[in-house]
Structure 1
Amino acid sequence: MRQYIYEFIMNSQEFIYKKFNQKNSKWPYFLLIFFLLIVVVVGINIFIELTDELTSKVIIGYDSAITNYVISYRTPSLNKFMQFITNVGDIYGYLILAAVFTLFFYLKFKNWRYVIQMLIVLGMAALSNSALKQVINRARPDALHLVSVQTLSYPSGHAMSAIAFYGFMIYLSFVLIKSNWLKYSLIFLFGFLIVAIGISRIYLGVHYPSDIAGGYIAGFIWVVFCITVFNIVDLFRRKEQVK
């Protein structure tokens, strides 16, 4: 994927050179930042629109209908499964997964670059989620909670961290895995975990569906921002190596 991004930027650069009859070595980076701004600005606007509508009748109606539908499937065995899934998206689950991926990246690639990137994505997503919760200050749903929670509700930290962390793992799968079978198997697994973690929070009664939607949007903005910044750094490094 990184190579495709690089080729696309280089092709766009040639087009701009011909169009504007000038050669500026920084055009590729300007283009990449421009596309980043589009994604971030659109995402932020969607997030703000959703946040502003949290108390509207439409959102309240959807929250109620979806929550009632999801919790109608509660059974003792499914309760245990959903509790396990939600633990995969909790701090201890990420600590275990981070340790596993750290070992893999170091043994496979003999450097700490992907480890540092992974920790930045996950750590900053958690910190920004905490800040958003405090600013928006939405209480948890009144439904019976099947797990203990102490923090505020919107946006869902589990949903935001899931799409940030597992979304970044999906990106790395595209970039690093050569085997198509393994690549798409991992993408399916990470995609399943993103969806399942979000559903588990509604099922367990600790989040409104709009909390999950807000978490997904915020997490998507963050992971796209991080991936773009990482690629800008890589493009600068490659540019320096060419000189």
Structure 2
Amino acid sequence: MAQTIEHFMKQSLFTFIISLREFLANKLNQYNTTLLYVITVKIAFVIVVGGINLFVELTEILKTETPATYDTAITDYVISYRRPGLTSYFKFMTNVGDVYGYLIVLGVFLLISLLVFKCWKYVVQATLILALATISNMVLKRFIDRARPGIEHLISVETLSYPSGHAMSAMAFYGFLIFLVTKFNIQKVMKYVLMITLITIILSIGISRVYLEVHFPSDIAGGFIAGFIWVVFCVLVFDLIELFKKDPQT
């Protein structure tokens, strides 16, 4: 449960940044557009650096005995709710966070982008973030070299354990979709429904890896942190690109 609380804290921080940027846009944009982006860049930089530091600290803690106690307690708590219906649900959600799941979601997202929003750049951006998260996850796994839990897995796995690729990709990809939802000109009720749905998907994919006993909870925490870093960093880069497109002299 600690990882869930930690994720909500990060999501709340992310929502706060978006709200802050919108507030600054309303109050300052008429006076100085550059000032808005300077402030946003500084905030995003602090979050990225803070996120990296948090990830490094968590990785260092893995070398001690502390994580084992929490990992065992949380895993036991999660699997205590194991039921046939929940097992089917979490197997489905773990597939949603796999290659074919993302291909289907990207295909649907592409159709919506072209038919409704008449814009395909968001699909390219989401695909780029997903690719960056996937590639960096493979590098981190090999560098940290943490083995999977030594218990019976409910599904087949082959790669290393930390950080969780499913958690990292889910946070990066669906986290970016949450950011896009805040930008889309749609009804507030629909925005909230979409955001809650996406948050549920992220959490479900993360929990599914513990429920199916293929990851330690600390793997999920590390994956969520690393994925969140990619979201903030890429959103910052995309916004700066848009700024320079509008005004190359900025």
How many Å separate the matches in 2 of 1:87 and 1:234? Answer: 34
Quote the residue 2:237 is aligned against. 229
Aligned residue pair count: 234
Shift in Å, 1:72 = 1.9
Shift in Å, 1:216 = 0.4
How many Å separate the matches in 1 of 2:80 and 2:152? Answer: 12
Q: SS state of the match for residue 152, structure 2?
A: coil
Shift in Å, 1:235 = 1.8
Q: Is the 8 A contact 1:174 1:183 kept in 2?
A: yes
Alignment partner for residue 203 of structure 1, among 203, 207, 211?
211
Deviations 1:88-143 (A, max 9, x none): 11111000000000111111222321111111111111111111111111000012
How many Å separate the matches in 2 of 1:155 and 1:87? Answer: 18
How many Å separate the matches in 2 of 1:106 and 1:196? Answer: 28
How many Å separate the matches in 2 of 1:29 and 1:216? Answer: 26
Q: Call closer, same or farther: CA 1:71–1:106 in 2, change over 3 Å.
A: same
Q: Is the 8 A contact 1:129 1:155 kept in 2?
A: yes
Quote the residue 1:125 is aligned against. 133
Q: Which runs of 5+ in 1 are unaligned?
A: 18-24
4+ residue runs over 3 A deviation: 1-4, 9-15, 25-32
How many Å separate the matches in 1 of 2:18 and 2:87? Answer: 41
Quote the residue 1:164 is aligned against. 172
Alignment partner for residue 191 of structure 1, among 175, 179, 199?
199
Quote the residue 1:144 is aligned against. 152
Quote the residue 1:63 is aligned against. 71
Alignment partner for residue 57 of structure 2, among 33, 39, 49?
49
Greater Rg, structure 1 or structure 2? 1
Q: Is the 8 A contact 2:181 2:195 kept in 1?
A: yes
Q: SS state of the match for residue 173, structure 2?
A: helix
Quote the residue 1:8 is aligned against. 24
Deviations 1:63-95 (A, max 9, x none): 011011111222233221110111111111000
Relative to structure 2, which stretch is displaced further, 59-68 or 230-239? Answer: 230-239
TM-score (norm 1): 0.88
Whichever residue aligns with residue 201 of structure 1, its letter is: R
Shift in Å, 1:148 = 0.5
Q: Call closer, same or farther: CA 1:4–1:175 in 2, change over 3 Å.
A: farther
Whichever residue aligns with residue 52 of structure 1, its letter is: E
Q: Is the 8 A contact 1:155 1:212 kept in 2?
A: yes
Q: Is the 8 A contact 1:2 1:231 kept in 2?
A: no
Deviations 1:163-201 (A, max 9, x none): 111111111111014201111000000000111111110
How many Å separate the matches in 1 of 2:225 and 2:184? Answer: 25
1:102 aligns with 2:102: no
